[in-house]
Amino acid sequence: MTDDPLAGASTAATAATGAAQGSPPPAASIEARFAVDYAGFRLDVDLRLPGRGVTALFGHSGSGKTTLLRCVAGLESAARGRLVVNGECWQDDARGILVPTHRRALGYVFQEASLFPHLSVRRNLEFGLRRIAAAARRVQLEQAVALLGIEALLERMPERLSGGERQRVGMARALLTSPRILLMDEPLAALDHKRKQEILPYLERLHDELDIPVLYVSHSPDEVVRLADHVVMLGGGKVMAAGELHATMARLDLPTAFTEDAGVVVDGTVAAHDDHDHLTRLDFAGGAVWVQRQPVALGRRLRFRIHARDVSLADHRVEGTSILNLIEVTVTEVVGADSPAHVLVGLDAGGTALIARITRRSSAQLALRPGRRMWAQIKSVALLG
Amino acid sequence: MPSLTSADWSAVRLTLELAAVSTAILLLVGTPIAWWLARTGSRWKGVVGAVVALPLVLPPTVIGFYLLVAMGPDGLLGRLTAALGLGLLPFSFAGLVVGSVIYSLPFVVQPLANAFEAIGRRPLEVAATLRAGPVDTFFTVVLPLARPGFVTATILGFAHTVGEFGVVLMIGGNIPDKTRVVSVAIYDHVEALEYAQAHWLAGGMLAFSFVVLLVLYGRRRGNAGAGVG
């Protein structure tokens, strides 16, 4: 599997920003090895995660993603293993080390904001802030309040907030403990679509403006591809795949549960606007796609997703087609898909990986094999904000 | 129509004193027991819960009898208090306090345990992720959230102690100014056919109990709308 060069570039960019802010050395990482046994469920993971950026813990319900997050927070008393977060050992059963949750420099955002009902928004925010030494405060109250846009809510009681507002207060409250790692347990799961759209921009701001590694639990592929830099796919308490987002999403060997929604994530640059046809061109390594006109300045980065089911293949450049986006690609791999009638075809578009989901019959007729040059016809592109 | 005699007033004062002291001790003793009952996964939970609830079903005379024996010169408690130079507890105010605490324990522990259980684990976990240690969490999160439970426990503990009769009679006897509480005074008046005085005291008790329960139930109804947030 080839690495996405754009992904490399973006990692380098993050690293450069980090260095400019005098952040931890590049070795920053999270080592998590946990075993938890419950009746009918076993979590068994051994992970080394990047100590910066957003890492999504992704999987269906019952996959163990929330349990893993709770293990990192020290909230699962039955968890055995070892946990080192950016050089700080929080748990090592072999050495008898177990730092209790309240002595771990972490922020935790729960699924239902779980604000203290007896305290106003301001007192909720101050709860954690007051409990850390003044010298250790790297996030100020005003800063967190502005970042999450909750200035107007400070004197209200939690019962008088909407679900989305509560969740934003919960995030600000977690940030105000100046955590070395932010743990988020499906912070959007309890919200309807509109509220989700209301919060996502704030989450992206967290990502862009704060240099705090985030572990983000989600069962929604959309959230994962929109927010994450890295992804850990969990299933049945085990790690199915883990790695950089673009590379991991482009893998063809993931378990069936993930292939039905297979597709790649690409970071494109806004390269041109066509005001006549109301289109915007997004360039990426090895190609470009036209999408509906976006109100975004030239040069801005936009992340988008191309679902495997939206990519078809032809052995020549098809003329007279309504499909706008045609990209020349090289076949890298052909594997079985979730249904016996289909195959997944790994493609290399000059440095960017694509996946096509086509029928087994078409694959045979086109004699697809690694190295074959083809034209990918992209029926639709899903923009991720 | 004769109203309360000074002996009657003395009984009223003693009753209130006994109830106040007992309630204070009940809250101190009952809170950790209730907390343990609400949080533990121990197999002793059932046993401890049953022991705490025993006064609900036992005749007060049974509790009084065992306390009398235990606090007597040959009882475990009696030897302990004697060795500590406190003398013997039966027929003393201190003895009544011990009896009241045991007798009213379920009325304090159960509302508290219910309140603690209703809080659930989540606020405790949230507090821990916000750097609050267990003691800190108890005072800044658990106590405020369990406040309705504490109000109920205080009212019930106090009222139930005021209404105590059998245990008092068994271990406290009927010593004016020392152990004669209102319920015993009523019994005395009735025995002596002083119905008018019995009416004053009994009517007072009835009014007191009614007002207490009215406050309790009125409060519950008022709170129902507020929910747990």
Structural domain range at position B141 = 11-41+53-182
Please report where in the chains the tokens 């493609």 appear, as a residue.
Answer: A347
pTM for the full model?
0.79
Judge whether B71 lies within some domain: yes
Nearest-neighbour CA in chain A from B129: distance (Å) = 6
DSSP H helices, A176-229, are 193-209, 221-227
Mutate to test the interface with B, among A101, A112, A130 (most CBs of B within 10 A): A101
Name the residue of chain B whose CA is nearest to A117's CA: B229
User: Pairing between strand A181-185 and A106-109?
Assistant: parallel
Judge whether B222 lies within some domain: no
Q: Which of B186, B102, B116 is nearest to B147 (CA)?
A: B116
Contacts of B140 in chain A (CB under 8 A): 127
- Measured CA to CA, the distance from residue A121 to residue A258 in angstroms comes to 40
Instruction: Please compute, for residue A277, the number of CA atoms within 13 A of its CA located in the half-sphere on the CB side.
Output: 10
Neighbour tally for B170: CB within 10 Å: 19
Mutate to test the interface with A, among B119, B121, B126 (most CBs of A within 10 A): B126
Altogether, the residues listed in chain A come to a count of 385
The secondary element (H helix, E strand) that includes residue A88 is strand A88-92
- The tokens for B211 are 């007002």
CATH number of domain containing B154: 1.10.3720.10
- Per-residue pLDDT of chain B (229 residues), as tens digits, is 567 788 889 989 999 999 999 999 999 999 999 999 999 888 999 999 999 999 999 999 999 999 999 999 998 999 999 888 888 888 899 999 999 999 999 999 999 999 999 999 999 999 999 999 999 999 999 999 999 999 999 999 999 999 888 898 889 888 888 888 999 899 989 999 999 999 999 999 999 999 988 888 887 655 543 333 3
- The tokens for A251 are 């893998």
Rounded to the nearest integer, the mean pLDDT of chain A is: 86
Neighbour tally for A95: CB within 10 Å: 9
Interface of A with B (CB under 8 A): 73-75, 100-103, 106-108, 110, 114, 116-118, 127-128, 131-132, 157-159, 173-174, 177, 183
What does the angle CA B118 – CA B119 – CA B120 come to, to the nearest 5 degrees? 90
What pLDDT does residue B57 have?
Answer: 93
Per DSSP, the three-state class of A269 is: strand
Judge whether B6 lies within some domain: no
Q: What is the ipTM for the molecules in this complex?
A: 0.79
Judge whether B198 lies within some domain: no
Tens digit of each residue's pLDDT (9 = 90 or more) over A305-336? 898 989 999 999 988 889 999 999 999 999 88
Residue A124 exposed, middle or buried by CB count within 10 Å (0-12, 13-18, 19+): buried
Judge whether B219 lies within some domain: no
Cβ–Cβ below 8 Å for A75 and B128: yes
- The tokens for A96 are 């008898």
User: Pairing between strand A382-383 and A342-349?
Assistant: unpaired
Q: Which residue numbers in chain A have pLDDT < 50? A: 1-26, 257
Judge whether B228 lies within some domain: no
- Residues 6 or more apart whose CB falls under 8 angstroms from that of A3 comprise A244, A247
Residue type, A196: K
Cβ–Cβ below 8 Å for A117 and B229: yes
Judge whether B78 lies within some domain: yes
How many distinct structural domains can be found in chain B?
1
Instruction: Please compute, for residue A199, the number of CA atoms within 13 A of its CA located in the half-sphere on the CB side.
Output: 25
Judge whether B213 lies within some domain: no
Q: A356: which strand partners?
A: A345
DSSP H helices, chain A, are 5-20, 65-73, 121-129, 141-147, 163-175, 193-209, 221-227, 245-249, 256-259, 360-365
DSSP H helices, chain B, are 6-39, 45-57, 60-71, 76-83, 93-119, 122-129, 134-137, 143-145, 147-162, 166-172, 182-191, 195-224
- Measured CA to CA, the distance from residue A210 to residue B100 in angstroms comes to 59
Give me Rg for the CA atoms of chain B: 20
Max Cα–Cα distance, chain A, nearest Å = 70
- The tokens for B49 are 């819960």
Orientation of helix B76-83 relative to helix B60-71, angle to 10°: 40
Residue A360 exposed, middle or buried by CB count within 10 Å (0-12, 13-18, 19+): middle
Nearest-neighbour CA in chain A from B127: distance (Å) = 8
Tens digit of each residue's pLDDT (9 = 90 or more) over B80-122? 998 888 888 888 999 999 999 999 999 999 999 999 999 999 9
Residue type, B178: K
Residue A181 exposed, middle or buried by CB count within 10 Å (0-12, 13-18, 19+): buried
Per DSSP, the three-state class of A5 is: helix
Cβ–Cβ below 8 Å for A116 and B141: yes
Cβ–Cβ below 8 Å for A114 and B123: yes
What pLDDT does residue B221 have?
Answer: 59
What pLDDT does residue A320 have?
Answer: 87
